[in-house]
């Protein structure tokens, strides 16, 4: 898919305030600092579209970006940011989970996982939450530029094994690096296929 247009539409603090354009939505979720906003920018070839930061907790609202006038990318705040207050974490989680369960046009949720970090309880819980709510999910490993090939494979296999303890089959997995623009074609092709199956 060629990205010819990507525009910020709005930030919402509640699913009720989200754009009502009736277009398919692809949401990016994962722990703070995993690289959600960076990946979104890499996919659309615009480093400045969604704000990124080396400090966790940058994205705080539900951000809708309209792509090629035909679908939305939705950048979400991270979960599991240890330095935020418990109250803040709880209210973000509620905002995210309500959006994910109420949104009528959610086509797919990408859970982003830092390839360097072993399976985390919070990620597996989130994956189970999506499964329980029958929300289509796919996993994108991020920051693969930081590891060698063998370690990437080892960590990916470890994660898959963990998933298969609860799931009958693993969701589709992608490897990516926003820094080195890896995974872009695979992820965009996957989205194209889903968009085509809707129309």
DSSP state, 178?
Answer: T
Build a one-symbol-per-residue string for 25-44: x at contacts with Mg ion by CB under 5 A, - elsewhere: -----------xx-------
Question: CA-CA distance, 39 to 76, in Å (whole number)?
Answer: 12
Does 37 bind ligand GTP (CB under 6 A)? Our answer is yes
Element (H, E) at 160: helix 149-164
Q: Which of residues 130-159 bind ligand GTP (CB under 6 A)?
A: 142-143, 145-146
The whole-angstrom separation of Cα 148 and Cα 146 is 7
Comparing CB distances to Mg ion, the nearer of 76 and 191 is 76
Residues 6, 43, 44, 52: which binds ligand GTP (CB under 6 A)? 52
Q: 111: part of which helix (H) or strand (E)?
A: strand 106-114
Residues 56-95 that bind Mg ion (CB under 5 A): 58-59
54 makes contact, choosing from ligand GTP, Mg ion, none, with CB < 5 to 8 Å by partner type, with ligand GTP
53 phi/psi in degrees, rounded to 5 = -160, 150
Tokens 């997995």, residue located:
173
Closer of 67 and 112 to ligand GTP (Cβ):
112
The correct pick among 127, 177, 184, 187 for binding ligand GTP (CB under 6 A) is: 177
> Which DSSP symbol is given to 72?
E
Using CA atoms, how far residue 45 sits from 4, 24, 55, 62, 166, in Å, is 10, 20, 22, 21, 36
Q: Which is nearer to Mg ion, 73 or 159 (CB)?
A: 73
Kindly report the CA angle at 161 between 176 and 171, in degrees rounded to 5?
55
Shorter beta-carbon distance to ligand GTP: residue 80 or 195 = 80
> Looking at 12, 15, 46, 56, which residue binds ligand GTP (CB under 6 A)?
56
Q: How far apart are CA 114 and CA 100, in angstroms?
A: 22
- Answer for which of 77, 80, 171, 183 binds ligand GTP (CB under 6 A) is 77
Query: What is the nearest approach in angstroms of ligand GTP to the Cβ of residue 164?
Result: 26
Q: Residues in the site for ligand GTP, rule: CB under 6 A?
A: 30, 32-38, 52-54, 56-59, 77-78, 142-143, 145-146, 177-179
């Amino acid at each position: 898919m060629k990205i010819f247009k990507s525009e910020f539409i709005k930030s919402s603090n509640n699913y009720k305030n989200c754009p009502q354009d009736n277009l398919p939505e692809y949401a990016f979720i994962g722990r703070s600092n995993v690289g959600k906003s960076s990946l979104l920018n890499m996919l659309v070839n615009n480093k400045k579209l969604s704000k990124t930061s080396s400090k966790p907790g940058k994205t705080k609202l539900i951000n809708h970006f309209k792509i090629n006038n035909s679908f939305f990318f939705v950048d979400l705040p991270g979960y599991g940011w240890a330095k935020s207050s418990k109250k803040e974490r709880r209210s973000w989680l509620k905002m995210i989970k309500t959006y994910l369960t109420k949104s009528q046009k959610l086509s797919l949720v990408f859970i982003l996982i830092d390839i360097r970090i072993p399976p985390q309880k919070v990620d597996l819980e989130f994956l189970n939450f999506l499964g329980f709510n029958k929300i289509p999910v796919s996993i994108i490993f991020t920051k693969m530029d930081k590891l060698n090939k063998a370690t990437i494979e080892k960590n990916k296999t470890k994660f898959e094994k963990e998933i298969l303890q609860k799931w009958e089959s693993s969701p589709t997995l992608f490897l990516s690096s926003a820094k080195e623009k890896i995974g872009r074609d695979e992820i965009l092709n996957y989205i194209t296929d889903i968009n085509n199956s809707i129309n």
